[in-house]
Chain A
Amino acid sequence: MRAKKIIEYMRQELGPDVLVVSAPRDRRVFINIRAEALRKAVEALKRKYPALRFMTISTVDCGLHFEFLHHFHVDGVVITLRSVKPKEENLLESIADIVPAANFIEREIAELFGIKVMNHPKMRSLILTEDWAEDKRPLRKPLRGILPPQARRVAESLISMGCVAPISRFIERRREAAGLPKTPPFAFTDEENMKELHGIIKEVSLSEKVGFDWEKKRLRYR
């Protein structure tokens, strides 16, 4: 019951910023939220539950993004706010002004992962030496997705063009010279068909899974 009430309250306060919720047990609540709504969520919890106890923040380097798990305890229930940030942003908003106990763990995250913690009240080193190299953070992995190097061009081509062997000017000329249409009747010859294909790819989260950047039309880690 307690878990259900907490979820109801958070849904009411955050609206669409709550993405997914689950309560596997009455004393355990997971709330996936938009990263931009992190402070709003913590403020809402603090407002409703003045006895809110901050536990810790777990940070997971997932290759393409960071997963932040802010754990709280209230009235016998453990609440985890889960948010995800693309690795390129490399930012975490500090909540130390709302829950001062977050101060040290945020410093630890900044040091071990090389993540910039915004608006932290007093950012300085905690574990590593002051002269520790910026680009050699102990818990940070390189920006990397699930695809091995050999599969990257194939995936890029499949997602952006719907075809694994992009046509070259040379082949276009040779096809025309051989009396064939310049290009076969592929989807990429028609804007509507490409909209359809891209819609499907986004809907099944294929592009998200492999880390495809729609603006640059390439993988984020090639």
Chain B
Amino acid sequence: MVKYALFLGCLIPMRMPSVEIASRRVFERIGLESVDLKGYTCCPEPVFSRLIDETGQLVISARNLALAEELGLDIMTLCNGCYETLLETNETLKNKSDEMLRVNRILENYGKKYRGLIKVKHAIEVLYEDIGIEKIRECVTKPLKIRVAMHYGCHLYRDLSGDIMRKPRMMKEITSLTGVEIADYGLERLCCGYPSMQVDEEFSLTHRLLPKIKRMVEAGAEAVVLTCPACTIQFETGQVLLRKRGIQYEIPCINIMELLALSFGFSSRDIHLELHRGPILRLIKKVEGD
């Protein structure tokens, strides 16, 4: 059985538990054993923490990696931001022995040590590479008849191989297994605006989020499929904020794990889709009928 240490991150369990529930259901169904990483902390968050203190970011991140290493397992993340932080820390420590020494000198004061023995993978990679397309296809019992737009999220493009489309291609292929029709809208690579929201709300909403949503709707998308919780927050709350500016869009967001769970035959109640802040009911009606 494929086995990974599951790094849940902050936003998924605290803000969108439906994604956690759906992921656990999907993992169980496809035969992926996920072991909870007890005592983990924020990855830490990839934007501010790095700017404030690089050593601090490395040590906190290495502590999380060390927890997985203690379990003898590679680490799997559901969140794009956590993926980037942990992946980059892992690569830095594996390739720079002086950084590894510096970080371990601090960790050793707390009985921890990171040896650089594990890999960091996004759940998309685990599904595609370790489980395989065929196994996922076998589990799809209720193909979904909806038209969706993909939003991969900027951090999913980070790749050690240099092929930035490697994981987005995987995500698209996995999504298509659920029976949905994928609407290409030409702005897939554009950032959703979540990071710029911290600095300039107007720019973030009108120059990042709005052009994307507009093109998605023009392409006939009935929902956005995402994997990043921060992007999900931006799409869901961003549409509410756009409404205050007189711009009305109501496109629901769905995480790829939730989409898989629905196509595996789980109901929206099973995975508590109602916990979404966006107009998810419309999508549920379309998928499950009244």
Contacts and interface: CB of A to CB of B under 8 A. Distances in A.
B79 to A, nearest CB: 11
Contact of B44 (A151, A158, A190): A158
Contacts of B36: 184-185
A40 interface: no
Interface string A151-165: 100110010001111
Contacts of B42: 158, 162-164
Nearest to A150: B198
A60 B90 CA distance: 40
B109 interface: yes
Interface stretch (A14-22, A31-39, A81-89, A198-206): A198-206
What is the predominant secondary structure among interface residues of chain B facing chain A? Answer: helix
A1 interface: no
Contacts, number: 111
Interface in B19-72: 20-21, 36-42, 44-45, 48-49, 52-53, 55-56, 59-60, 63
Contacts of A164: 10-11, 42, 44-45
Given A196-B110, A210-B52, A162 B13 contact: no
The interface centre, meaning the residue of A148, A155, A175, A178 with most chain B CB atoms within 10 A of its CB, is A178
B109 A199 contact: yes
A186 B40 contact: yes
A171 B13 CA distance: 9
A197 interface: yes
Contacts of A180: 13, 17, 20-21
Given A166-B14, A175-B17, A151 B198 contact: yes
B208 to A, nearest CB: 16
A179 B42 CA distance: 23
A154 B53 contact: no
A209 B41 contact: no
Contacts of A167: 13-14
A204 B20 contact: no
A193 B48 CA distance: 23
Interface of A: 146-148, 150-151, 154-155, 158, 162-168, 171, 174-175, 177-180, 183-187, 190, 193, 196-197, 199-201, 203-206, 209-210
